[in-house]
Structure 1
Amino acid sequence: MAKITKIALTGAPCSGKTSIVERLAADFYTENRDVLICPESAYEVIASGVGRDDYIVFETLVAKKQLENEAEILKKAEQSKKDEVVVIYDRGVTDCFSYVDDKIALAENIGMNVVDSWARYDALIVLEIAPESEYFSTSARIETYKEALEYQKRLLDVSVGHSHLRYVKNESTFDEKYSACRAEIESILSGYEIEKKFLIEYPDLASLEKYNPFKAEISQTYLLCAVGSHRIRKRGSNGTFTYFETLKIRVTGSCAEETESIISKQQYDELMKSADPDKNTIVKDRYCFLYDGQYFELDVFRFWDDRAFLELELKSENQSFKLPPEIKVIEDASDDFHYKNSYLAGLKL
């Protein structure tokens, strides 16, 4: 079976999403790689004559149509004769939650909540809305620019927390914005994780509330492994969890080749039987937030009350970034194995 990578691409109205999706499909198609596009389901629902007077009803229909489209596209992907398939979703189920205030009602209607929806996509890319001078309406795009900006905020509110979120800001030209988006996907498909990790003073979490962080509960267990680091992770919030299996082989201090897959709870429980007896399960709270267009993950551990970690993924070694001013850095720990989770798991803390 082909290796399938599922990438949801989304953004506020007039973010360039549809044009970018079409270019990505053409650019990433190769002799050994197929690229499939899952179409935006909202247009299909609107074309069927359904109005948007009741957003719970409308978004329920959109989400159900999206699930049908995703099942169909994954079936095609699984039948591919190529070595690799990239599925690009022109919006995902997660989007539907951004349009409704009663997210619990929508979750009940479609049988999944926001956290559940994240697990459907290996990566989630959010595009920034175009400047107001470039904004225009269509028969389907009925929002004013002010309303579109509000939607962008709501979209980020339901997207921040995904374990592989990327945010693509506007550039001087649309071609530059496309290139930035393409670079993010190249990074995702490369299998290499370029991570910066900072040891920081224990943060004033209240001061970070302005960034509207999403809090995730994580339990990370290391398995017996002869090569690299083999781990399983339970990650979620408010009783809803997703389970991951990850094999990481370090290339340099800050760069690792990583293979990660979502597994079932049954698989997770079975793999727990292979836990390394010399390592403790790492339990931490992760606060995910955006600052200056960069996605940050702040890890607070149960065994430290004076320090924490701040991490971010980069698409290249020389990518520039800014740290939030509220963060007090002790040192750059990217290349220090003493601060790898696998090493900390072996200590009596």
Structure 2
Amino acid sequence: MEQNRKVYKVVLTGGPCGGKTTGQSRLCTFFENLGWKVFRVPETATVLLSGGIRFSELSDDEAIKFQENLLKTMVQIENTFFELASSCPRNCLVICDRGAMDASAFIAKDKWEFLMSKNNWNEIELRDTRYNHIIHMVSAANGAQAFYTLEDHSCRSEGVSLAQELDENAAAAWVGHPYFDVIDNTTNFEQKMRRMIECVCHKLGVDTGDRLKVNARKRKFLVQGPLPPVDAFPKFQDFDVVHHYLQTSTPHMQARLRKRGQNGHWSYIHTIRRPAVENQVVEVKTQLSQRDYQNLQAQVDESHFTVYKTRRCFIVTVNFVRKGGEAQEDPEVCQQSQYFQLDIYQEPCHERCKGLMLLETYTSLDDEGIKKCLPKFLNVVDEVTGKPDYSMFNLSLKEDWKNSKKYCNYMPVNGQDPHLVKLVRQKSQQVNGSST
């Protein structure tokens, strides 16, 4: 392996409905934006169970044999990705949807020890040396029961009690790994995802600035053209992005497909934005195969245009002076790094999108702080955070906004539905006899 090139193998584990699927997608996008190559190892159990196997229908002997073959299959699949990563010329992140030790959470200890002995396996190799980092995504059944759902997983049938038990068993299976972190449900779902990504970045020594802090939020700015020449930008990554909105069963839900890539190589993501639960709008992101992506295109909502964009990702670093105390004669000169992505809308598109450029960043900085970090080489004319006219859903509508019944008049900000928050607050005030 070349000096300074990194290969990092991380396992996302946990009980059902813990955010592993969305977390895998978010982690992948984050590191691809940094220029890393990312491999995603699918969950072997899901692959096998989707073929018609029902674990509850297996005899004890069949269940043990199933776990043994599952583990053998998992190891072989992982080894394929690990070998590809070792020969990759770029920094490479390998994300495993569960790992070898997860099998031990589903069978009795004596049966597990029998399999270890039979196959000459040992837990030091399967747990401690095979992967660089284990992240346990705590099931929503533990601490966020309102968000526990089975609807997006055809292979999932666990009730809350069983999900809690499986979650605890999955955590116990990895105890002892030198880099084992637990991401619980003490924050909302969006913040949970950021904590998970920040956890990986911290172990790798990747500077994330403040974009992953708990109080960070997405801010969006309108950029006026023309686009500056390439040499005006710091080092950047350009991606081709294509979005399709899909038909949904309710007007309160949004579903879309995203194809994102470079040089003809693509990744595919399916996103569902669900109605608010406990004032939070949860986005569920699922990584897709090319075949699944093509099949889902049959559900395209014809009331929306396909959205074509160039996404340019870059980091802006600015110097600022940190004021010291009275005893400090020389003020300290520090640096602030801020990660941005510039979405440049491309034709064919609606007239309203021609020449449109939107700059986005996640930050906890106040207005004064973010103003200092905005790229000086771009003509930023207005902040449009939360303004419905600049949501991609509305921008892609074929109808004129004045006549469209699908125009969305409010947008979630920082994972919350402000319209619902306002209604809940008003209802609470009415119940308590307060004036609105």
> Normalization by structure 2: what TM-score?
0.42
Query: What does the per-residue CA deviation read over 1:192-248, in whole Å, with 9 as the maximum and x for residues that have no partner?
Result: 9xxxxxxxxxxxxxxxxxxxxxxxxxxxxxxxxxxxxxxxxxxxxxxxxxxxxxxxx
Is 1:127 the counterpart of 2:137 in the alignment?
yes
1:52-201 matches, cutoff 5 A: 52=55, 53=58, 54-82=62-90, 84-101=91-108, 102-118=111-127, 119-130=129-140, 131-137=144-150, 138-190=153-205
**Partners of 2:137 and 2:34 in 1: how far apart?**
28
Contact 1:55-1:99 within 8 A present in 2 as well:
no
Q: Specify the SS of the correspondent of 1:19.
A: helix
Moved over 4 A (4+): none
Amino acid across the alignment from 2:105:
S
Which of 26, 31, 47 matches 2:29? Answer: 26
Contact 1:56-1:105 within 8 A present in 2 as well:
no
Query: What does the per-residue CA deviation read over 1:147-170, in whole Å, with 9 as the maximum and x for residues that have no partner?
Result: 111111111221111111111111
Paired residues, what number?
191
Which of 6, 9, 15 matches 2:9? Answer: 6
Structure 1 residues 26 and 109, CA gap change in structure 2 (3 angstroms): farther
Query: What does the per-residue CA deviation read over 1:274-314, in whole Å, with 9 as the maximum and x for residues that have no partner?
Result: xxxxxxxxxxxxxxxxxxxxxxxxxxxxxxxxxxxxxxxxx
Contact 1:8-1:125 within 8 A present in 2 as well:
yes
Cα distance, 1:108 vs structure 2 = 3.4
Cα distance, 1:47 vs structure 2 = 2.7
Matched with 2:387 is none
**Partners of 1:139 and 1:110 in 2: how far apart?**
32
Task: Kindly name which structure, 1 or 2, has the bigger radius of gyration based on alpha carbons.
Answer: 2
Q: Specify the SS of the correspondent of 2:40.
A: strand
Contact 2:50-2:155 within 8 A present in 1 as well:
no
Cα distance, 1:35 vs structure 2 = 1.3
**Partners of 1:162 and 1:86 in 2: how far apart?**
19
Cα distance, 1:110 vs structure 2 = 4.4
Cα distance, 1:139 vs structure 2 = 2.2
Is 1:44 the counterpart of 2:53 in the alignment?
no
Which of 17, 21, 28 matches 2:20? Answer: 17
Amino acid across the alignment from 1:135:
Y
RMSD: 1.9
**Partners of 1:13 and 1:110 in 2: how far apart?**
28
Cα distance, 1:96 vs structure 2 = 0.6
Query: What does the per-residue CA deviation read over 1:240-260, in whole Å, with 9 as the maximum and x for residues that have no partner?
Result: xxxxxxxxxxxxxxxxxxxxx
**Identical positions, percent:** 26
Q: Specify the SS of the correspondent of 1:121.
A: coil
Contact 2:8-2:94 within 8 A present in 1 as well:
yes
**Partners of 1:176 and 1:109 in 2: how far apart?**
43
Amino acid across the alignment from 1:67:
V
**Partners of 1:106 and 1:136 in 2: how far apart?**
33
Amino acid across the alignment from 2:26:
R
**Partners of 1:157 and 1:38 in 2: how far apart?**
22
Amino acid across the alignment from 1:127:
M
**Partners of 2:119 and 2:188 in 1: how far apart?**
39
Cα distance, 1:109 vs structure 2 = 4.8
Structure 1 residues 79 and 30, CA gap change in structure 2 (3 angstroms): farther
Q: Which runs of 5+ in 2 are unaligned?
A: 208-436
Q: Specify the SS of the correspondent of 2:165.
A: helix
Q: Which runs of 5+ in 1 are unaligned?
A: 193-349
Q: Specify the SS of the correspondent of 1:15.
A: coil
Matched with 2:376 is none
**Partners of 2:205 and 2:117 in 1: how far apart?**
37
Cα distance, 1:36 vs structure 2 = 1.1
Contact 2:135-2:182 within 8 A present in 1 as well:
yes
1:286-301 matches, cutoff 5 A: none
**Partners of 2:63 and 2:114 in 1: how far apart?**
11
Amino acid across the alignment from 1:59:
Q
Amino acid across the alignment from 1:89:
C
Cα distance, 1:74 vs structure 2 = 1.1
Amino acid across the alignment from 1:105:
F
Q: Specify the SS of the correspondent of 2:135.
A: strand
Matched with 2:407 is none
1:224-243 matches, cutoff 5 A: none
Amino acid across the alignment from 1:172:
T
